[in-house]
């Protein structure tokens, strides 16, 4: 089982996917670099959690075919 993400991470991740969804992919490393360009986050740990959340959501979107 995975770790539960806070609502702040989920809300921010969902907002970023709505705005910049075409730029993100299922690759964690690429998403980290894109996050640095779009929204600089001071905390490396928070950036990594957010990039992981976005990667996982993009995988879900790909499976649904949306």
* Domain-wise residue ranges, the chain: 7-64
Is a pLDDT exceeding 60 seen at residue 14? yes
Whole-number Cα distances in Å, 15 to 1, 20, 22: 25, 8, 13
Both tokens of 8, joined, read: 């702040």
Q: Does the domain made of 7-64 have the CATH classification 1.10.60.20?
A: yes
Residue 61 is predicted with a pLDDT of 86
pTM for the whole thing? 0.86
Residue 65 is predicted with a pLDDT of 60
Helices (DSSP H) in the chain: which residue ranges? 7-20, 28-38, 44-64
Closest of 15, 48, 12 to residue 31, by C-alpha: 48
The overall average pLDDT reported for the chain is: 90
Answer for the pair 55, 31: CB distance below 8 angstroms, yes or no.
Answer: yes
């Amino acid at each position: 089982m995975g770790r539960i993400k806070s609502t702040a991470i989920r809300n921010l991740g969902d907002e970023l996917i709505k705005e910049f969804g075409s730029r993100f992919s299922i690759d964690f490393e690429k998403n980290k670099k894109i996050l640095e360009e779009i929204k600089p986050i001071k905390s490396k740990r928070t950036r990594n959690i957010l990039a992981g959340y976005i990667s996982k959501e993009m995988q879900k979107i790909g499976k649904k075919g949306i």
